[in-house]
């Protein structure tokens, strides 16, 4: 073997050793620190709160802006010593903000609700422009969104009078923000039939599935395909608008021509036709049972985060037959809260810390308006839950 051949082999060996050394360094320096995120929902731009900080009939734009201002104070806030992830530590950074739908309120003429386009513009000012939280890399926190039933109804129509009859602005803009298509959707070009808002994202060793409305049979087709590429040992968290015990009127009308009408009062915001009967007041047991069966097929689905019910709550969903256990987190609404509506000191969002080392998620209730007479008062901590994801 000549010297030139030996030199080439030596250089190749050094390159291989260098590559191995580089890969081991990358593994060693992998960031396994907890990821922190906010969960909120049901901004409902277009309506007013009865009272807020001494004023009456306060517009959603004002209330949501106040909540965003309090979110911006979180980096300097210390978490409670409650034994959860990052307990007793200063928050410092926020990596993501999760919004679980109903950006725009339904444009019902009886309540003089503004258009979805106007509502999205106010949302853009508050959440896209004014929210200045930074992640661990000192980059702007990423906003991750799903639509709610009001966003969908504005897009496809509703059985009560609306003006205009449809406005797909909030759905189109959520789609643009999440998918960044080459050709941006507008209210006139957004296609409800094809522009579905289902996507997934991995962080802190966990697979998050962001879905349109609720995991009905149509969404489960997408979920099954998405989860094919996910290891059975990887925890999965679903983020949706509707609660696991889905409301029946959100399904597609099983009657007549299956349309949206004031007699049957089905919203048609879910593709699946209602199977439990002809009335929207009948419990959707068959549909919920199908979702429970899906959970049994995918036991690595460990948690479900949602809006719609306007209540800050941590609970376990057991399914209609009490044969599953799904950790669920429900969020408050700044405009329609069950508890915070009559008592603004209970206004809240959730602050979440996910530890990839222990696969533990702690969700804390952040009371952002604890003293209505003092807007500068710091946030307070309410209830919390810690969920083992593995």
pLDDT digits (tens, 9 = 90+) for 160-210: 999 999 999 999 999 999 999 999 999 999 999 999 999 999 999 999 999
Q: Cα(222)–Cα(213) distance, rounded to whole angstroms? A: 13
Checking if the pLDDT of 218 tops 90, the result is: yes
Checking if the pLDDT of 21 tops 70, the result is: no
DSSP 360-377: EEEEEEEES-S-TT-TTS
Residue 72 CB: number of other CB atoms within 10 A?
14
Question: φ, ψ for residue 306 (rounded to 5)?
Answer: -150, 170
Domains and CATH numbers, the chain: 32-388 (3.60.21.10)
pLDDT of residue 277: 95
DSSP 154: H
How much is the pTM? 0.91
**Contact of 122 with 169, CB cutoff 8 Å:** no
pLDDT of residue 13: 38
**Contact of 107 with 120, CB cutoff 8 Å:** no
Residue where the block lists tokens 């044969």: 323
Across the chain, what does the average pLDDT equal? Answer: 93
The more confident residue out of 38 and 19 is 38
265-316 pLDDT, tens per residue?
999 999 999 999 999 999 999 999 999 999 999 999 999 999 999 999 999 9
Percent of the chain with pLDDT over 70: 92
Residue where the block lists tokens 């015990």: 245
CA angle 165, 166, 167 (to 5 degrees): 135
DSSP 73-125: TGGGPBPPSSSSTTTTSB-----EEEE-S--BPP-BGGGTPPPHHHHHHHHII
Treating both helix axes as pointing N-terminal to C-terminal, what angle do 169-179 and 116-123 enclose, rounded to 10 degrees?
40
Sheet holding 360-367, edge to edge: 142-145, 96-99, 35-40, 348-355, 360-367, 380-388
pLDDT of residue 11: 37
Q: Cα(51)–Cα(41) distance, rounded to whole angstroms? A: 20
pLDDT of residue 29: 59
341-379 pLDDT, tens per residue?
999 999 999 999 999 999 999 999 999 999 999 999 999
3-state secondary structure of 23: helix
**Contact of 64 with 43, CB cutoff 8 Å:** yes
Question: φ, ψ for residue 318 (rounded to 5)?
Answer: -105, 0
pLDDT of residue 25: 39
pLDDT of residue 231: 96
Lowest mean pLDDT among 13-22, 81-90, 154-163, 235-244: 13-22
pLDDT of residue 361: 98
pLDDT of residue 111: 86
Checking if the pLDDT of 325 tops 70, the result is: yes
Q: Cα(158)–Cα(269) distance, rounded to whole angstroms? A: 10
42-70 pLDDT, tens per residue?
999 999 999 999 999 999 999 999 999 99
DSSP 126: I
pLDDT of residue 33: 93
35-47 pLDDT, tens per residue?
999 999 999 999 9
250-266 pLDDT, tens per residue?
999 999 999 999 999 99
Treating both helix axes as pointing N-terminal to C-terminal, what angle do 149-156 and 169-179 enclose, rounded to 10 degrees?
120
Q: Could you tell me which of 321, 284, 326 has the C-alpha nearest to residue 303? A: 326
């Amino acid at each position: 073997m000549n010297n030139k051949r030996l030199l080439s082999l030596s250089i190749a060996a050094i390159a291989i050793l260098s590559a191995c050394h580089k890969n081991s360094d990358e593994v060693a320096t992998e960031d396994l620190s907890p990821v922190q995120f906010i969960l909120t929902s049901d901004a409902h731009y277009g309506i007013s709160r009865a009272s807020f900080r001494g004023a009456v009939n306060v517009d959603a734009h004002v209330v949501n802006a106040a909540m965003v201002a309090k979110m911006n104070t979180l980096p300097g806030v210390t978490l409670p010593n409650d034994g959860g992830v990052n307990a007793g530590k200063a928050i410092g950074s926020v990596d993501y903000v999760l919004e679980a739908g109903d950006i725009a309120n339904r444009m019902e003429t009886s309540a003089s609700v503004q258009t979805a386009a106007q509502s999205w513009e106010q949302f853009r000012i508050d959440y896209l422009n004014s929210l200045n939280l930074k992640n661990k890399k000192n980059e702007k926190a990423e906003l991750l969104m799903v639509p709610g039933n009001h966003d969908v109804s504005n897009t496809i129509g509703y059985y009560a009078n609306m003006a205009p009859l449809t406005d797909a602005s909030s759905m189109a803009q959520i789609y643009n923000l999440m998918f960044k298509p080459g050709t941006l959707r507008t209210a006139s070009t957004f296609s409800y039939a094809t522009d579905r808002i289902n996507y997934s994202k991995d962080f802190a060793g966990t697979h998050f599935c962001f879905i349109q409305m609720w995991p009905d049979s149509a969404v489960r087709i997408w979920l099954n395909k998405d989860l094919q590429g996910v290891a059975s040992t990887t925890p999965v968290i679903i983020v949706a608008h509707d609660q696991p015990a889905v409301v029946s009127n959100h399904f597609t009308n099983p009657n007549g021509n299956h349309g949206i009408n004031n007699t049957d009062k089905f919203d048609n915001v879910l593709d699946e036709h209602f199977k439990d009967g002809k009335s929207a007041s009948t419990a959707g047991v068959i549909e919920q049972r199908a979702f429970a069966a899906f959970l049994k097929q995918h036991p690595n689905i460990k948690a479900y985060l949602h809006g719609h019910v306007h209540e800050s709550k941590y609970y376990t969903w057991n399914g209609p037959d009490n044969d599953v256990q799904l950790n669920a987190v429900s969020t408050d609404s700044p405009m329609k809260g069950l508890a915070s509506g009559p008592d603004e000191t209970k206004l809240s969002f959730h602050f979440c810390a996910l530890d990839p080392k222990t696969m533990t998620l702690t969700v804390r209730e952040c009371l952002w308006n604890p003293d209505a007479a003092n807007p500068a008062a710091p946030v307070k901590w309410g209830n919390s839950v810690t969920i083992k994801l593995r």
